[in-house]
């Protein structure tokens, strides 16, 4: 298994701890995380990304215990092996499209995919030197997907990637994520409550607050 | 892509704020640059021009004025002294050397100074072309004077009365250029040097002409006769213009003559104590020491300089605060960016470095602009006020002290970045990213 979590628990200060179901996912597989607002979906995603440290349990990614990594080593591991697509694109507005991808490679200290090829794949070749401010929402979301993919990570995490997109773009984004994840053999986890996405992914895990 | 590029991208993404802050800092640093250059060059030139002159003796008046007029040739002389008295000083056993100066005329603002060849050796001049004067009305030109006046070897010109432009011309006698000096970087560069006799004869004619016109209003066509008479008046046996001038000491004369001032070199340290007191109390002249008067002048100027320095420091502090506010505000807007960078694999240390780089790049830009402004500003001042004291300053000299300006800028950048960098260090990624 590429990704394996065991008995993850996390507690926000002053709140009851949340327990999460175990996840095991092979490379190239996709998983949909469903759950109501406040069920802890995003918390689980943050634990998987190493942005939060679990109070109990482990996240193993490709044989590395994420919870055991600290400080800069964790940051670097995340940069190299985990690609994150956020709810909103959140690109660096001071940089061009291509520079946003190069930035990910700089911080990940990794030459994964060629930014130019990737932009070509995602139909963004013409926008490579465009300023972020000139992109449409759909384009910006595709750029943020490209940024998550550019270091050819082992795990791709997408947090509500379709929530602000129309039907056509939502479908394209999901298909793009699935296709690209399969292409580089990465595990893909999508957090969503978007009904449109459910039909696209077969594996589903429901997160319930306990 | 690296941190420096990224910091530049962030800076250039906000050109107005970046530009304003850089310029604000640049103005503060420009004032410091100008002060540095002016102070350094003035002190250096003042010291070099006064080298070898222990004491200046001239007519009673302001001692500072006497020094400024006789050594630096920037103020008006205090008056003239009797040559007889001057010669008495030169015979004093405490005096090693006396160089007499006679002033009173100018050539388009460049002072015509009558002296002897000792003055040339005092400033260790060398000739670009030609040689020193030997006969009356032969002159040599300092390098900048020659350049500004556009005169060449063998050219002739007439001087005007007074030591600044705008007075009547002495058109009776033409000066002839016999030599042009190589640049020295000293005061001689902007002087027209000649013999004391030349200065005397110029004014003799002037004086006698006015006497003549008082006695008889001569018709114009008889001007020639009058000029001959004027010459006859002081050429007893032969035409004085054909007699070689004195190259050392005082020129000989059978009339009561005057000089403007004397540059005195002491024979021994004892003279520094006795000679000034003796001259000031026992003669109608005054003695002033260049070293003492210049340090007094710098003391007086010191107030103004401190004021400007204070202004410069205030500007730099304001610039520092403004840069701090700009960084802090932009960082608040960019908390999400920082979280993203962390999510992309950036370490806390890299984010802190990024913030510092941004602050320091901004202040380095300010320092570069400041030094450029400083030199440029000085160049404009020098350009606008040719022929004044200011023109002594070379705006394109770069001092090692200007390195300090980068030091200040660096310090301002570091200080302004401290708090923003700390807040960048503290940014929690998960909290920022889950906030919508």
- Residue B219, chain A, CB below 8 Å: the answer is no
**Please, which residues have CB within 8 angstroms of residue A35's CB and are 6 or more apart in sequence?**
A41, A193, A206, A207, A208
Nearest to B293 by CA among B114, B70, B79, B105: B70
Size of interface A-B (CB pairs under 8 A): 71
Q: What tens digit of pLDDT does each residue of B170-213 get?
A: 667 789 999 999 998 888 988 999 999 998 888 876 554 443 33
DSSP string, B249-275: SPPP-SS--EESEEEEEESSTHHHHHH
Chain B partners within 8 Å of A52 (Cβ): 430
Give me the residue from A75, A86, A94 closest to B345, CB to CB. A75
- Residue A70, chain B, CB below 8 Å: the answer is no
- Residue B430, chain A, CB below 8 Å: the answer is yes
**What residues form DSSP beta bridges with B161?**
B105
Give me the residue from A76, A87, A90 closest to B340, CB to CB. A90
Q: Which of A113-122, B56-65, B136-145, B379-388 has the lowest mean pLDDT?
A: B379-388
Give me the residue from B2, B340, B347 closest to A92, CB to CB. B340
**Is the pLDDT at B222 greater than 80, yes or no?**
no
3-state DSSP helix/strand/coil % of chain A, to nearest 5: 40, 20, 40
d(CA B30, CA A201): 65
**Is the pLDDT at B75 greater than 90, yes or no?**
no
* Backbone conformation region of residue B162, classed left if phi is above 0, alpha if psi is from -120 to 50, else beta: left
Interchain contact, B1 vs A105, CB within 8 Å: yes
* Pairing assessment for the beta strands B138-141 and B191-195 based on DSSP bridges: antiparallel
The range of the structural domain enclosing residue A106 comes to 3-206
Per-residue model confidence (pLDDT) at position B167: 62
Q: What tens digit of pLDDT does each residue of B20-36 get?
A: 999 999 998 998 898 88
Residues B144-160 have a mean pLDDT of: 89
Chain B partners within 8 Å of A95 (Cβ): 6, 9
**Is the pLDDT at B257 greater than 60, yes or no?**
yes
CATH number of the domain within which A171 lies: 3.40.50.300
Interchain contact, B433 vs A109, CB within 8 Å: no
For the CA atoms of chain A, what is the radius of gyration?
17
Contact B316, B25 (CB under 8 A): yes
Q: How far is B332 from chain A (nearest CA, A)?
A: 14
Instruction: Please tell me the total count of domains within chain A.
Output: 1
Nearest to B345 by CA among A108, A85, A151, A50: A108
What SS3 class is residue B407?
helix
Interchain contact, A88 vs B346, CB within 8 Å: no
Give me the residue from A72, A88, A95 closest to B349, CB to CB. A72
Residue in A closest to B9 by C-alpha: A94
Nearest to A168 by CA among A129, A144, A136: A136
- Residue A111, chain B, CB below 8 Å: the answer is no
ipTM of the assembly?
0.88
Residue in B closest to A103 by C-alpha: B1
Per-residue model confidence (pLDDT) at position B391: 66
Chain B partners within 8 Å of A84 (Cβ): 343
DSSP string, B30-41: HHHHHHHHHHHH
**What residues form DSSP beta bridges with A206?**
A34
Chain A partners within 8 Å of B337 (Cβ): 90, 92-93
Average pLDDT for runs of 10 along chain A of length 210: 89 86 90 83 88 90 88 89 88 92 89 86 88 90 91 91 82 87 91 83 78
* Pairing assessment for the beta strands B175-181 and B138-141 based on DSSP bridges: parallel
d(CA B436, CA B433): 7
The Cα-based distances of B124 to B15, B189, B252, B272 in angstroms read 54, 12, 25, 24
What SS3 class is residue B78?
coil
Contact A155, A61 (CB under 8 A): yes
Per-residue model confidence (pLDDT) at position B238: 60
Structure tokens at A192: 């969503």
Residue in A closest to B338 by C-alpha: A92
Q: How far is B428 from chain A (nearest CA, A)?
A: 9
Main-chain phi, psi angles of A119, to 5 degrees:
-65, -35
Longest distance between any two alpha carbons in chain A, whole Å: 50
């Amino acid at each position: 298994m590429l990704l394996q979590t065991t008995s993850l628990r996390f507690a926000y200060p002053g709140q009851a701890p949340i327990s999460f179901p175990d996840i095991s996912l092979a490379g190239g597989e996709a998983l949909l995380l469903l759950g109501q607002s406040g069920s802890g979906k995003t918390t689980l995603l943050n634990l998987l990304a190493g942005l939060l440290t679990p109070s109990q349990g482990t996240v193993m990614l490709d044989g590395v215990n994420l919870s055991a990594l600290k400080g800069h080593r964790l940051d670097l591991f995340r940069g190299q092996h985990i690609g994150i697509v956020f709810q909103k694109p959140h690109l660096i507005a001071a940089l061009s499209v291509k520079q946003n991808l190069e930035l990910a490679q700089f911080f990940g200290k990794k030459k994964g995919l060629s930014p130019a090829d990737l932009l070509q794949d995602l139909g963004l070749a013409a926008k490579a030197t465009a300023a972020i401010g000139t992109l449409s929402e759909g384009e910006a979301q595709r750029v943020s997907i490209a940024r998550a993919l550019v270091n050819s990570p082992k795990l791709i995490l997408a947090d509500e990637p379709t929530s602000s997109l129309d039907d056509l773009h939502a479908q394209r984004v999901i298909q793009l994520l699935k296709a690209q994840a399969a292409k580089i053999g990465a595990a893909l986890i999508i957090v969503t409550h978007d009904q449109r996405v459910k039909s696209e992914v077969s594996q589903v895990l429901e997160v319930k607050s306990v | 892509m690296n941190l420096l590029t990224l910091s530049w991208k962030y800076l250039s993404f906000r050109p107005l704020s970046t530009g304003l802050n850089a310029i604000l800092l640049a103005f503060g640093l420009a004032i410091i640059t100008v002060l540095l250059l002016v102070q350094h060059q003035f002190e250096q030139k003042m010291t070099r021009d006064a080298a070898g002159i222990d004491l200046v003796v001239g007519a009673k008046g302001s001692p500072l004025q006497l020094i400024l007029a006789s050594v630096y040739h920037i103020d008006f002389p205090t008056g003239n002294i009797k040559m007889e008295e001057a010669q008495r000083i030169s015979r004093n056993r405490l005096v090693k050397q006396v160089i007499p100066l006679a002033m009173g005329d100018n050539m388009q603002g460049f002072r015509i100074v009558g002296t002897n060849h000792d003055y040339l050796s005092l400033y260790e001049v060398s000739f670009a072309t030609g040689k020193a004067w030997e006969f009356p009305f032969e002159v040599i030109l300092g390098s900048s004077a020659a350049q500004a006046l556009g005169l060449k070897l063998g050219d002739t010109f007439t001087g005007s009365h007074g030591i600044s432009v705008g007075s009547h011309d002495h058109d009776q006698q033409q000066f002839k250029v016999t030599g042009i000096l190589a640049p020295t970087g000293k005061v001689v560069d902007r002087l027209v040097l000649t013999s004391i006799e030349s200065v005397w004869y110029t004014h003799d004619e002037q004086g006698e002409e006015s006497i003549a016109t008082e006695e008889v209003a001569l018709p114009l066509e008889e001007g020639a006769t009058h000029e001959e008479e004027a010459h006859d008046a002081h050429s007893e046996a032969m035409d004085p213009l054909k007699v070689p001038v004195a190259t050392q000491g005082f020129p000989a004369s059978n009339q009561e003559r005057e000089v403007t001032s004397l540059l005195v070199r002491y024979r021994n340290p004892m003279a520094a104590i006795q000679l000034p007191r003796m001259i000031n109390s026992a003669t109608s002249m005054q003695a002033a020491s260049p070293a003492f008067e210049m340090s007094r002048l710098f003391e007086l100027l010191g107030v103004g300089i401190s004021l400007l320095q204070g202004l410069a420091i205030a500007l730099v502090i304001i610039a520092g605060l403004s840069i701090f506010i700009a960084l802090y505000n932009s960082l608040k807007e960019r908390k999400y960016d920082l979280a993203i960078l962390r999510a992309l694999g950036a370490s806390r240390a890299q984010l802190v470095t990024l913030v510092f780089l941004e602050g320091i790049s901004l202040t380095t830009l300010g320092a570069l602009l400041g030094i450029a402004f400083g030199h440029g500003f000085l160049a404009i001042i020098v350009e606008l006020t040719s022929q004044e004291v200011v023109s002594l300053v070379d705006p394109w000299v770069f001092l090692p002290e200007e390195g300090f300006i980068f030091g200040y800028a660096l310090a301002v950048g570091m200080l302004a970045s401290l708090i923003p960098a700390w807040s960048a260090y503290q940014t929690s990624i998960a909290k920022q990213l889950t906030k919508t």
